[in-house]
Structures are given as C-alpha cells and as structure tokens.
Amino acid sequence: MLLYRAQRCAAVLAIVALLGACSPAERRADLGSEQGVLHWGNASEPQSLDPHIANGVPEQKILSALFEGLVGKDPQTLAPIPAGASHWQVSDDGLRYRFFLRPQARWSNGDAVTAEDYRWAWWRALQPQLGNPFATLLFVIAGAQQYWQQQHGDFDQVGIRVLDRLTLEVELAHPSEHFLQLLDMPTLYPLHRASIERHGNPSARASRWTHPGNLVSNGPFRLRQWQINRRITVEKNPHYWEAQSVALNQIVFYPTENITTEERLFRAGQLHYSYDVPVDKLRYYQRYHPEQLSLAPYLGSYFYRFNTRRPELADARVRRALAMAIDRQLITEQVLRAGQLPAFAMTPPNTAGYYPPATAPQQLRFDPAAARALLAAAGYPNGEGLPSLEILYNTQEEHRKVAVAIQQMWKQHLNVDATLHNQEWKVYLDTERRGDYQIARASWIGDYVDARNFLEIWLCASDNNRTGWCDPEFDRILLEALPRANSTAQRHQLLQQAEQRLLDGLPLLPIYTYTSKHLIHPDLRGYSANLLNQPLFKRLWLQPHNELGDE
C-alpha cells in the first residue's frame, strides 16, 4: 500500500508541487474531510483582499469567507437573509432602511461590531483616490453619487446615519428593488477602522492591513496564512456570532489558473472543489462520474473590451466588423461544449424578467460579407492597412481556446491579423486598468440579479469601463431616468434604451453567456448551485466517505 501511494505521489509530483508535498499516507482531500479542512480550487492569485480594491470572482470567494455584510443571500434561492443585521425595517415609501445589528457580533480580534463600522467603511468606499471599482453600487444611497463626484465634501450629507451603537439607518436616493442584494457585496462590508489606520492612510491602495496577522474581519473565518501563488488559508473565527454552527475548521484556497492541472489535482485527491473543468474532460465526467460534475446556469457574460482610444479601434465600424465576423454558435458548441449560449448583448436574457433589445441578434449576427463591407467603409478593404491586433487574456486554457478561434475567424473572414498575449491574473487586471491594451478578454458576473448591474459598468466614470467609451445619454438614462421609473415595464424599457446605446457604440464584443462548471468531491456537503455561483461557506461541511470515484 505504501509503495502504491509512493508511485502515485511520484506520478503527480509536478502537479502537487503547486500545493505542497504529497502525503505518503493519505490524499489531501481525504485528510481534509477528516479534519474539517476544505481544499478549494480558486482560479487565480487574488489581486487584493481589500474589499474596496478587489474586483474579481476569485477575490470575492475569499472575502465572503472573511467578511459579512448586513444582509446575506440564501445559497439556493438568493433571497436576502439576515447576516450582520438580525432584522431590518423599511419605510412605506421604500426610501429608509433601518438595520438592527446583532449585539453578539464581534470582529476577529474580539472587538464589538458597531453601526459606525459600516458608516466608516462606506465613507472609505467613496473616497475617489482609493479607486474603488464598485463605488457606483453606493449611488443608490442619497447623496453618495454627489459625494463621490466631489460636488460636496460633507459626508454627513450622505444618507447613512448611526442612530445608536447597534442601529444603522440608510436613506436611498430612490426606491430600489435590489438594495438588499447589494449589502452582500464586498464593497458594502464593514471594516475595522483602527486596524486599517494602524497601517497608514486608509485611502491608500497599497497597505499592509490585509496581510496575515493584520487583517481583522467579521465573518465566519479569519485569515491565517497567505503564501503568494500557493495558497491562502482561513480558519474558523472563534469570535463570530454564529461560530458554534460553522462546521469547517479551515478553508485552503489554491490559485490554479491552469484548469488542466486543477482537474488532475482533483482526480489525485488534492481538492474538494475545482474552479473550472477542462472542455476535453466534460464528456468523461458526464459519462463516468456525473455525481462529481456540477453544471448550472450562471448569470455572467463573457465578452471582449475594445480600447476605443486606440486609433485602429476608434471607428465603431471596425469594432462592428470584428463583432460580425465571429461565429458564436461554433464557439459555444464546438470550442466550449458546456451549454453556454451565444451572446449578442451585454445582459444575459431573462435577468429578473429583462431581455436585451430585440434588435441585438441582428446587429451582431455572424455575417462575414457585411463585416467585410463595414471594414472597407472604414478604410480597410480586405483588412489592408489595419494594424495587427492583440488579444489580451488572463492565463487560462479556456480563454486561450476562445482567443485562438476568434483569431482564426478574423483572419479567414476579414484578412485581419491578431496575436495573442496572456498574463497572470494580477498583471492582466493592472494592464487592463491602465488601458495598455487593444482588445482584452473580460467577463462580468452578476453581483445581484438585475440588468442594471450589467449596464452600469459602462458609465463614463465607472472604473470597470476601461474602454474610453463614454455616452452622456447612456449615463442620463441609468442615473436619472431609471430611478424615476414607476413600473417594472417602464424600467425594462429604459434599460433596453440604455443597452441599445451601448450596442450602437459597441465598446465591447459580446461572445457568450456563462454556465458554471465545477468538480465536487462527494465528501463536500451543503453546496448548492445557484445563478450567481455564490457558496455560503459557513453552511458547508465535510462528511468523509471511503473512496473518490475511479480511484
């Protein structure tokens, strides 16, 4: 038996080196199941663990274990559930929310969580110099947008009031159907002011307050270890108000950008959960181990950003030609093969009853002849004179396969040359944020189930726009007209008007609507697939069993 395990360890040594030494006695997942340690594949090395700087899904997963907002989401229905607040009251006009914090809530250092912790955190979230990519989420609060735009410098004019140590009142700028859903977002988490100020200016992007030993959090887990490009370990927070109900003792998050490596790690018994599944392995798991494969609808859009500040991409006709020269059906059915849907707009269809403009599929249809005509009209007949384009993507095999397919389509149908350039996650985010790219792979996963979430990232001042495209009328609809809508039908009509302007300007190339796909160890219990692909870690537990599938 020891010889067998030694042979297996040697066979996967190159893979397992990513995670640490291979145990000669037991696979990591099996041991973790016995010890209450969840081993979680998490795609990429986090950009940051600062809730006001991090803007990716890998970061969000870790932050949701470390922090807790006023309101959470049910892992099955996504309905709002009490979290940091035990209950709340809403005024008849829908403009005032009063939250009652749990008296027993504590930070990971034992300090009491107070209403002022939320108010101060939201003040920090709205400091322009911090560059919070999700600052616009707070614009639903009265005065927040004006404060962020520096129309005034008095935070007391923002509708956030501490009524007493455990009572927070929030006044909205307008009634909002999705305000409670926002409160589960990292940018609205509370923060421990003293621990942040201990490490310098609270508005500085570079600070050591997020390092192990410095980070103070209020969630079910606290940060124990951060080994760059190897693992992040969180452990149960003994001061958490519901600590007795948290089954896991630790979660270890692994940055595994190579999903082929990740699948091998799962198969070798090193992970309980994989962030993704390689396309060429889907049929294997569907046929032989369907109980380990999770495929589910996912509220997310996969697209490319066009840098409209670059001369070769400044003409919308060039961007539209590139968009009409790709066969989305071929990409989803032959390249991806996991139930993804071709996308012709930014917003996934039937997002809380909303559908993109009916003209979208016709505007961005696969039509090489029309694409060539557009390119010629822009001054590039048969692609002549158009500089070679570069597609930037973060390192992951699936992104590479999509980029290769699009590269070939542009060459075949437009005679346009494109090169591919991959970067690891943090470098890619920084490159995109600086605008140092031509075309960049991107995605947007819903933070809450509403179409506005997919459109407001294209506001002129949004840090998530990053394309140079700006349409004041688009902004006016989302920021002025939409809040005044008096019915769902009128609201959807305004959203369609805004999305139509986005499709006319076309700073993006929609490609497909996501599905989530993961490998789940049979020991992992309490996991529920949902439209936002958000686990509730404090409700997960591990129940050991004998063997893992084919081993």
- What's the confidence (pLDDT) of residue 411? 98
Give the full edge-to-edge strand order of the sheet including 160-164. Answer: 85-90, 96-101, 167-171, 160-164
- Separation of alpha carbons 184 and 71, rounded Å: 6
CA-wise closest residue to 226 among 217, 214, 236: 214
- What's the confidence (pLDDT) of residue 26? 66
Contacts of 503 (CB under 8 A, 6+ apart): 345, 346, 357, 359, 360, 363, 364
Residue with tokens 């009031």: 161
Cβ-based burial of 298 (10 A; exposed 0-12, middle 13-18, buried ≥19): buried
Q: Cβ atoms within 10 A of the Cβ of 314, count?
A: 14
- What's the confidence (pLDDT) of residue 546? 61
How many Cα atoms within 13 Å fall on the side-chain side of residue 100? 5
Residue 340 tokens read as 């993804």
- Separation of alpha carbons 387 and 318, rounded Å: 12
Please state the three-class secondary structure of 483-500 as a single string.
HHCCCHHHHHHHHHHHHH
- Separation of alpha carbons 261 and 265, rounded Å: 6
Show the DSSP H helices in 236-349 as ranges: 259-267, 282-288, 316-324, 328-330
- What's the confidence (pLDDT) of residue 257? 83
Contact 196, 209 (CB under 8 A): yes
- H or E stretch at 369: helix 368-377
Provide the β-strand partners of residue 419.
390
Cβ-based burial of 463 (10 A; exposed 0-12, middle 13-18, buried ≥19): middle
* Phi-psi label, residue 434: left if phi above 0, alpha if psi -120 to 50, beta otherwise: alpha
Helix, strand or coil, per DSSP, at residue 244: helix
pLDDT digits (tens, 9 = 90+) for 337-359: 899 999 999 999 999 899 999 99
Residue 91 tokens read as 């005024």
- Separation of alpha carbons 27 and 231, rounded Å: 17
Helix, strand or coil, per DSSP, at residue 504: helix
Provide the β-strand partners of residue 354.
351
Do strands 37-41 and 250-254 pair parallel, antiparallel, or not at all (unpaired)?
Answer: parallel
Contacts of 436 (CB under 8 A, 6+ apart): none
pLDDT < 70: residue spans in the chain: 1-26, 546-551
- Separation of alpha carbons 138 and 121, rounded Å: 12
Residue 507 tokens read as 């700073």
- What's the confidence (pLDDT) of residue 206? 83
Do strands 508-519 and 293-306 pair parallel, antiparallel, or not at all (unpaired)?
Answer: antiparallel
Predicted TM-score of the model (pTM): 0.89
Helix, strand or coil, per DSSP, at residue 157: helix
Phi, psi for residue 453 in degrees, rounded to 5:
-60, -30
Residue 494 tokens read as 């305004």
Q: What domains can be seen in the chain, in order of their start residue?
A: 27-45+228-295+517-542 (3.40.190.10), 68-210 (3.90.76.10), 300-515 (3.10.105.10)
Q: What DSSP character marks residue 206?
A: S
